[in-house]
Structure 1
Amino acid sequence: MEVKVTSSTILTSPISHPSDIPLTIFDRFATNIHIAVLYAFTPPTSNNADIISGLSNTLVHFPTLTGKLTTNSYARPSLTVGGPHGGALLVEATVSSKLEDHLPLPPSPDFRLLHPEVNDAKHLLQVQLNRFQCGGLVIGVTNHHRVADGQSMSTFFVAWGKMVRGVPVDSLPVYDQSWLKPRDPPLVQFDHWGTDFIPLSPQPNEFCVTPVYADPSEITNMLLHFSAEFIIKLKAQTNASSTVKYTTFQTLLGHLWRMVTIARQLDDEECTMVRVSVNGRPRLQPPVPMEFFGNLVLNAYPKAKARALIEGGAAMAAGIVREAVRDVGEDYFRSFIDLGEVYGNRDLVPCYDVDGNVISPKLEVDSWLGFQFDEVDFGGGGGLCAFLPINWVPLEGLLIFIPALSRNGGVDVFVSLLEKHAVRFREISHSLD
């Protein structure tokens, strides 16, 4: 793929006077990296000038995306918004090939050329508009996770598309953090040490993790499609032996958890665990608006021994996922907020930060099924034809669920495994036996 950058500019912050915003405990729990996504649109599309103008107008409502991560006078991580620093990077580029030659955008290291470099990125939001020979458009966007989670970014993308099309934006971001106010006195009623954050002063052998690394060439990424018909059959099989009606996510995750465990050939008694992202907005009371912009996500941790998981069937696996996610309720989120009040000035390190790039026997799972990424429309008459939640990642054990864009619906799942395990996984991923 030949990509030629034709221009690069900085869209300045819409706020003239700088101000410091302390990062919340949820921001500090978010992974400290840029997340890269790709949107592909068939021609005709809106021109670059209209898309850039729409972006500038949208950032007026999303100023934190133009900020800069800093440390305040109390040595606490914060976000500086406004002033001469920060801004958003906007790159324009052309691609010599036709868009259809690259569809449906399977994960590939080559696609790194379609968005600005994420290593040592100077801006929290980076956008690259890639014009293909046929007139097709791929918009590559990277944003820093400590400023916004997936729910927040879906709100941003939908608003940006409406701004370009001249449609009123009816879901503006909400920045009110009164929902995140700690209790008085704070009550840390759950043990978040060793689960969410590394213990501040671990006892000998209390928290021992040996990172496992593999050469990136040994890790493969794939995007698997599970049709609506397949999911109906899977749910019927799962629900047949249970009085509980499992959701699509619970059912499909339970199935894939078992298939990955088989492919990895784990020992019978080895404990396998899934880190599942849980959106706190609907769990806090009163519920936080979905338009809340920032981070408000914690993890659930379903666990099982390998043999029991495999032999227990799809219903058992879905049930373990369901119960673990239900346990991360309002009390857990309130306890986490109070943890931030008590230990907010300490150096807090999320447990996943000590992992290598091979997390087996664990899995890291994110569901984007409830987001609006598939509703993004930048106008012009063409349509969204492909969406890739991440172009390529040298991390074994990552799964991302996204709504499929195909006519028959269903779910696409991004999966990253060691190639030696991926061979077997591909063979059994759609097995209902």
Structure 2
Amino acid sequence: MGSCGTTATSVKQRDIVAAALPMQDHWLPMSNLDLILPPIDVGVFFCYKKCLPHDESVNIVKKSLAQALAIFYPFAGEVVQNSLGEPELHCNNRGADFIHAYIDTELKNIDLYNPDDSVEGTLVPLKKQGVVTIQVTELKCGGLVIGCQFDHRIADAYSINMFLTAWAEIAQLKPISRLPSFRRSMLNPRHPPVMNLIYETLLVPISSLPQPQSQLPANPLISRIYYIEAKDINHLQSNSSFNGNTKRSKLVSFIAFLWKIIAECDDGHDTCKMGVVVDGRERLDNKINLDKLSLSNTKSFLMQNYFGNVLSIPYGEANSSALKEMPLSLVADMVHEFVSPALSEEHFRGIIDWVELHRPASILARIYTKIKETDGEAVVVSSGQRFPVESINFGWGKPVFGSYHFPWGGQTGYVMPMPNVRKNGDWIVYMHLSQKHLDLVESKGSKVLKPLTPSYLDF
């Protein structure tokens, strides 16, 4: 087990929690949008300042998890390879690994600004088998941390959020607000699939990539957590709409701000890339059996409950020197320009068809690859604005803090802004970047992005 600062984590019990109801063993195919995800894990964690007596709290979490797994049964299965070498989900109710741990420290003493030291493998467990690993960690102060690690091939952030919300609702004996749909046919390719070469710029077969040169020195990325005050977010948005420019969203304004910071890196590369994760649920218009539902607003109704991956990562590439000199409003325009084509049903249908025409080859989003030595730096921003921190209440109150933790292991940076649990308009921002980019964030962006501290969190 890891350590939280200098305090070691002790494991009180390891267990496997299976779904509460008997389940029929069956297979669930991956959709074409699942198949573009590599075998990486996504972590989330929630900090509670006070809870019920620890054993009682752990029992509630464990019992409700078993019930939640009966509904979100893919999380109780295993990923295996089929005869084509593709991943497939075996829904065999293997169960989720469950760890009950203790750390002899107080919540206020956990250095959340440095999650690689305080969170990874300590509060968020490392997943070794199955699809999900859960850890409940007791703290000396009487608080509790619940950390989870999910196989990204099975679920995107939207799906994970659905599960977390339902899990907490079950613990409070509330009705589940959103039941998952596993209807893979909603993401079937067209017949025949339509080939569009534009997707060559977004996706690439892994077999076509150059083999990594083992002699090149590894440069692992580092995780940090910052916060942005509401007034600074609003200021960025105002600057992005300068001179009568179309009012850009807060997220687009933040992405433009970050892109300008990354462009400041004097590392010999002429260009740098910025990618944005787009959720396709609102874009896909499924009309299957909708007439029978008698709904006034049928668009995306089925997709709103879809469990799986429905993601695309469009990106832009620009000259670093030009980016540094551009006003924020023009950079925001560039972000809007490269994201806009992905905001359509045709974009996602086209990706599904493109993957179908390349199966069973393993596919990867091009933003995550470096084809040539001269390729510039790349960062991907995902929106965690729907991260339901305040909803993850198991009966003893909402968390005082929650965040994603996603040190995915590649060389492309990853950034996830989320709402503060206090709902005061502030953002919490998880960053997984190289040291040189974090140095720029803390110098060029220090007036906006501030290191997370216990005093800010009021622990």
Q: Scaled by the length of structure 1, what TM-score is found?
A: 0.88
Structure 1 residue 339 corresponds to structure 2 residue 337: no
Report the 3-state secondary structure (helix = DSSP H, G, I; strand = E; otherwise coil) of the residue aligned with 2:204. Answer: coil
Match of residue 340, structure 2, among 326, 344, 360:
326
Is 1:33 paired with 2:40?
yes
Matched, 1:387 2:397: no
CA contact (8 A) 2:49 2:144 kept: yes
Q: Deviations over 1:380-430 (max 9, x none)?
A: 1x3311113117566552211111235632222222333344333202114
Letter in 2 for 1:60: A
Deviations 1:71-128 (A, max 9, x none): 2244432111026xx311111111111122216564232322223323xx11210001
Q: Distance in 1 between matches of 2:423 and 2:365?
A: 40
Distance 1:215 1:303, change over 3 A: closer
Deviation at residue 172 of structure 1 after TM alignment? 1.1
Query: What displacement does 1:299 show?
Result: 0.7
Shift, 1:302, TM fit: 1.8
Name the SS for the 1:323 alignment partner. helix
Q: Given the alignment of the two structures, is residue 69 of structure 1 paired with residue 79 of structure 2, yes or no?
A: yes
Report the equivalent of 1:285: 285
| Alignment partner, residue 239 of structure 1 | 241
Closer, same or farther in 2 for the Cα pair 1:26/1:19, shift >3 Å? same
Asked if 1:133 is matched to 2:135, the reply is no
Provide the residue aligned with 2:266 in structure 1: 265
Unpaired stretches in structure 2, ≥5 consecutive residues: 1-6, 287-299, 449-459
2:420 alignment partner AA: A
2:107 aligns to what?
A: 99
Give the AA of the match of 1:333. F
Match of 1:256 among 240, 255, 258: 258
State which of 221, 226, 229 in structure 2 corresponds to 1:227. 229
Distance in 1, Cα, partners of 2:71 & 2:217: 41
Q: 1:239 deviation in Å?
A: 0.6
Q: Does 1:146 align with 2:153?
A: yes
Distance change in 2, residues 1:181/1:276 (3 Å): same
Give the distance between the partners of 1:214 and 1:265, measured in 2 at CA.
19
- Structure 1 residue 242: Cα displacement: 4.3
Provide Cα deviations, 1:226-274, integer angstroms capped at 9, x if missing partner: 1111111121122123431100100011001101221x1255x822111
Query: How many Å separate the matches in 2 of 1:101 and 1:337?
Result: 47
Note if contact 1:66-1:124 (Cα within 8 Å) is conserved in structure 2: yes
Determine the C-alpha separation between the residues in 2 that align with 1:72 and 1:342.
18
Letter in 1 for 2:89: L
Aligned counterpart in structure 2 of residue 3 of structure 1, from 9, 19, 27: 9
Alignment of 1:352-431 (within 5 A): 354=369, 361-380=377-396, 382-390=397-405, 397-406=413-422, 408-431=424-447
Cα distance, 1:99–1:430 mapped onto 2, change above 3 Å? closer
The aligned counterpart of 1:170 is 177
Cα RMSD (Å) of the superposition?
2.6
Distance 1:150 1:17, change over 3 A: same
**CA distance, structure 2, for counterparts of residue 100 and residue 366 of structure 1:** 28
For the pair 1:113 / 2:129, whether they are aligned, the reply is: no
Partners of 2:168 and 2:394 within 8 A in 1: yes
Read off the aligned partner of 1:21 and give its amino acid letter: L
Matched residue, 1:348: 363
Pair 1:191–1:236, CA change in 2 (3 A): closer
Deviation at residue 320 of structure 1 after TM alignment: 1.2
Instruction: With the length of structure 2 as denominator, give the TM-score of the two structures.
Output: 0.83
Amino acid at match of 1:344: R
1:266–1:306 contact (8 Å) kept in structure 2:
no
Deviations 1:148-191 (A, max 9, x none): 00000001001111111111112111112232122222112243
Provide closer, same or farther for how the CA distance between residues 15 and 364 of structure 1 changes in structure 2, counting only shifts above 3 A.
Answer: farther
Q: 1:100 to 1:199 in 2, by over 3 A?
A: closer
- Give the residue type in structure 2 aligned to 1:330: E
Equivalent pairs, count: 417
